[in-house]
Amino acid sequence: MKILLAEDDPNISVIAKIALEHIGGHQVHLATNGRMALEMALSYDFDLILLDEMMPEMNGLTTCRQYIAKKQEPAPVIFLSAKSQESDIREFTEIALGYIPKPFDPATLNQTIYRIISKSQRAEAA
Amino acid sequence: MNLIRFRILFLITVALSIVGGFGYLTVSSFDQYSRINRNLNTSFYLQDKVEGLDVWKFSNSTLEDLRNHRRVLPEEHRANALSDIIQAYASRNPTTLRKRSDFFVRNEVEYRKYLFPLVYYLERRIEYFGLITLASMVLALLISYLYLRRALFNEIDSLSRKMVDFLNQRYTYQFTVPSPNEMGHLQATFNSLAQRVLSQMDELKSLDRAKSDFLSIASHELRTPLTSIKGSLSLLKTGVVGKLTDACANLVNIAEQETDRLIRLINDLLDLAKIDARKLPLTKKWTPISELIKPCLDSLQGLARTANVFLVSGELPPVEVNMDKDRVLQVLTNLISNAIKFSPKNSTVTVSVVVDESDRLVFKVTDQGKGIAPEDQELIFQKFRQATNAENPLVKGTGLGLAIAKALVEEHRGVIGVDSTPGVGSTFYFTLGEWRFNVKEQQSADPQSPTGVAA
C-alpha cells in the first residue's frame, strides 16, 4: 500500500515508517504538519492516510475534514492519538475509519491497521 | 469629635444634665411643698388646741405641748402670739386667754391665707417639672436609640451582609468612603482584609494553573521520548531491521523491561500528582460489581498461572456502585497482583465482596503469604514504601501502587486498609462510599429461579 503518515515527532514517524516498510512492506510518505499532509493528500493518491491528531499548523481532525471535503475519492483515514476520552474516540470514528491509541507498539502496528480495515469492511458488508 | 464614643458621651452628658436639672427642680418643689403642708398642719393643729383651751381643765401636758410647738415655730409673730397664750393659760386667766386666743386664731387664719396660693403654685410646679423630666428622659432615650441605630446597628448590619456576600463569593464588599469613625475603621479593615483574601485567591489560582500546566507538560514531555525508546527497542527485537546476536537480544530485552518499568513509574507518579492536585477527573457511573470483578479476575489469571497461584472469587452480592470503573479496577488490580506476587506457590488468593454489619460495601483480597509486620501495615500505603521483601524476585513495583489505591479509594469516599497475621496471610480491603442493592441484577443473575421462569 501507498501510505501517507502525518506525524510531527520525527522519531516516532521514523519508527512508524520502519515498522510499516520493513514489516508490512508498504511504501510510506511522511508529512510533518497538518497543512503539508493536506497538500500531499490532495495532490497524490494514497491507499491509506495515518493522521496524528495533535500537529502544528492544523490539527488532525481539521485536516481530515478538509481532505474529505476536497478530495473526489478520499482514501481511508486512521487517526493516531493519545486522547482516550470516549467523546474524542467517537469524534474520530465518526469521520475516519478508526483510531490507533498512542503510544502504539510498532511491532504490531501493521496488524492493528489490518484489523481496523477488515473490521470496517465487515461493517460495510453487513 | 467624629468618633462615635465621643458623640455618645456628649449625648449622655446633655441628656443627663437636662433630665437632672428638671429632676432637681421637681424634687426641690416637692420638698418645699411638703414643708408648707407640714406648716399648714401645725397651724390647724395649734388652732384646734388653742380653741380647746380651758383654764378650768388645766393640764401640764397641754402646757408642755404648746411650749414645744412655740419653740419650733419659725415665724416670730406667731411665736409671740403663742407665748402670750401660754402665759395666760399658765396664769389661768380666762379673760386674757379668750382675748389672746381670738387674736391667735385670726393671726393663724391670716397666715394660712398667705400659704394657700403658694401650695397651689407648688402643686402646678411639681406636675409641670415632673412631666418635663419624664418627657426629656423619653426623648433622650429615643435620640440615643436613633443615633445608635444610624451610627452602629445599620452599619453593623451592612457589614455583616457584605461579609455573608463575601462568603457566598459575591465580592461587593467595597465600602466606597469609610466614615471617619470606629465603624469606618472596621469597614476599612474589612476592605483590606477582603483585598488580601482576593489577591491570595488569585495567587492560589495562578499557582494551581501553573501546577496543572506543569503536570500536562511533564506528562507529555516525559512520555514522548519514552515512547520513541520503547518503539525503537520493540522494532529492534522483531529483527526486521537486522538479525540480532543473542547478546544483543538480551541487552535489548533488558532495555525494554527497564523502559517499561520507567513508563509505569512515570504513569504512577503522574496519577498520584493528578490526584494530589485534584486534577484527576473521575467519571462515576452506577455499575454492577460483577462488571468490575469478572474482567479483573480474567485479566489476572495469566499472572496467577505464571506464579502458580490459584485466583478465586467468592459469591458477589447483587449490588451496584457509583464509581469510576477504570479507577476502581486499577485499585483492585493492584491489590490482587500484589497478593499474587507475595503468595507462595500453590496457595490461593481469594477475592470477595461483602456488606458488613455497619452497612459498608467491603472488597477483600485475601492471600496466604507470609503476612505484613504490624509496624509495616501503615507504612505500605505511603509513597515509595514497600515492606522488605528480599526473597521474592517476582516483586518489582514502583512503591506507588498502594498510595495511588489509597488516594483513589478516598476519592470514592471509601477507606482502605489491611488486616494481617504474620505467617498466616493478609487481607487487603477497601470500601466504596456510594452503593445500593440492585434488584434487577439479582433476578437476571438467577434465571433458574421460579420467578425467573414465570417471567
Domain of B355, CATH number, reads: 3.30.565.10
C-beta atoms surrounding B51 within 10 Å: 11
In terms of domains, do B357 and B234 share one?
no
C-beta atoms surrounding A3 within 10 Å: 22
In terms of domains, do B289 and B270 share one?
no
Cβ-defined contact of A105 to B240 (cutoff 8 Å)? no
Report chain A residues whose CB lies below 8 A from the CB of B234.
105-107
If DSSP codes are grouped into helix, strand and coil, which group holds residue B417? strand
C-beta atoms surrounding B396 within 10 Å: 10
According to DSSP, the residues that pair with B436 across neighbouring strands are B320
Q: How far is B269 from chain A (nearest CA, A)?
A: 18
For the segment A42-65, the average pLDDT, to the nearest whole number, is 91
In terms of domains, do B208 and B344 share one?
no
With beta carbons less than 8 A apart as the criterion, state whether B136 and B22 touch.
yes
Report chain A residues whose CB lies below 8 A from the CB of B230.
103, 105
Q: What average pLDDT is seen over chain B? A: 84
Of B223, B228, B240, the CB nearest to A11: B228
In terms of domains, do B113 and B244 share one?
no
Alpha-carbon distance values, B84 to B81, B91, B105, B110, B265 (Å) = 5, 11, 13, 18, 132
Q: How far is A102 from chain B (nearest CA, A)?
A: 9
DSSP string for B28-83: HHHHHHHHHHHHHHHHHHHHHHHHT--GGG--HHHHHHHHHHHHH--SHHHHHHHH
Give how many domains chain B has, as a whole number. 3
Residue B192 lies in a domain: no
Whether B228 contacts chain A with CB within 8 A: yes
| Cell numbers found for residue A25 | 512492506
Residue with cell 433476578: B443
Query: If contacts are CB pairs under 8 Å, which of residues 69-88 in chain A contact chain B?
Result: 82
Q: Which residues contact B67 (CB under 8 A, 6 or more apart)?
A: B86
DSSP string for B316-354: PPSEEEEE-HHHHHHHHHHHHHHHHHTSPTT-EEEEEEE
CA-nearest residue of chain A to B223?
A103
CA-nearest residue of chain B to A19?
B235
| Cell numbers found for residue B128 | 409641670
Query: If contacts are CB pairs under 8 Å, which of residues 230-259 in chain B contact chain A?
Result: 230-232, 234-235, 237-238, 240-241
Alpha-carbon distance values, A2 to A48, A49, A73 (Å) = 7, 9, 15
For residue B10, the enclosing domain spans 4-162
Cβ-defined contact of A15 to B235 (cutoff 8 Å)? yes
Q: In the listed set B259, B276, B293, which residue is the last one of a domain according to the structure?
A: B276
Q: Which residues contact A35 (CB under 8 A, 6 or more apart)?
A: A57, A58, A63
Digit-coded pLDDT (tens) for B231-252: 999 999 888 888 889 999 999 9
- Regions of chain B where pLDDT drops below 50: 390-394, 441-455
Q: For position B447, what pLDDT does the model report?
A: 43
Residue B417 lies in a domain: yes
| Cell numbers found for residue B273 | 500528582
Cβ-defined contact of A107 to B237 (cutoff 8 Å)? yes
* C-alpha to C-alpha distance for B100 and B247, rounded to whole angstroms: 160
Residue B83 lies in a domain: yes
**Beta-carbon pairs below 8 A across chains A and B:** 43
| Per-residue DSSP letter, B390 | S
Residue B340 lies in a domain: yes
C-beta atoms surrounding B7 within 10 Å: 15
Select the residue from B226, B240, B252 to test the A interface by mutation, using most A Cβ atoms within 10 A. B240
Cβ-defined contact of B240 to A102 (cutoff 8 Å)? no
In terms of domains, do B137 and B17 share one?
yes
Residue B179 lies in a domain: no
Q: CA torsion sign, A64 to A69 to A70 to A74? A: positive
Residue B184 lies in a domain: no
Q: For position A48, what pLDDT does the model report?
A: 94
In terms of domains, do B300 and B420 share one?
yes
Phi/psi of residue B243, nearest 5 degrees: -65, 135
With beta carbons less than 8 A apart as the criterion, state whether B362 and B353 touch.
yes
For residue A72, the enclosing domain spans 2-125
Identify the CATH number of the domain in which residue A67 sits: 3.40.50.2300
Q: How buried is B159 (Cβ within 10 angstroms: 0-12 exposed, 13-18 middle, 19+ buried)?
A: middle
CA-nearest residue of chain B to A12?
B228
pTM of the predicted model as reported, rounded to 2 decimal places: 0.53
Of B224, B225, B234, the CB nearest to A106: B234
Task: Write A9-14 long-range contacts (CB < 8 A, 24+).
Answer: A9/A52, A9/B224, A9/B228, A11/B225, A11/B228, A11/B232, A12/B224, A12/B227, A12/B228, A12/B231
> Cα A117 to chain center, whole Å?
12
Cβ-defined contact of B232 to A15 (cutoff 8 Å)? yes
Select the residue from A11, A26, A53, A55 to test the B interface by mutation, using most B Cβ atoms within 10 A. A11
In terms of domains, do B436 and B307 share one?
yes
Residue B401 lies in a domain: yes
Residue B169 lies in a domain: no
In terms of domains, do B205 and B260 share one?
yes
Residue with cell 490526584: B275
Task: Give the burial string for B418-434 (b: 16+ CB within 10 Å, else e).
Answer: bebeeeebbbbbbbbbe
Residue with cell 515492606: B387
- Amino acid (one-letter) located at A100: I
Of B224, B234, B237, the CB nearest to A9: B224
Q: In the listed set B276, B301, B320, which residue is the last one of a domain according to the structure?
A: B276
- Amino acid (one-letter) located at B272: L
Report chain A residues whose CB lies below 8 A from the CB of B228.
9, 11-12, 15
In terms of domains, do B412 and B443 share one?
yes
In terms of domains, do B239 and B333 share one?
no
Give how many domains chain A has, as a whole number. 1
Report chain B residues whose CB lies below 8 A from the CB of A104.
231
Q: How far apart are the first and last CA of chain B?
A: 90
Digit-coded pLDDT (tens) for B102-120: 999 999 999 999 888 889 9
Q: For position A4, what pLDDT does the model report?
A: 95
In terms of domains, do B242 and B369 share one?
no
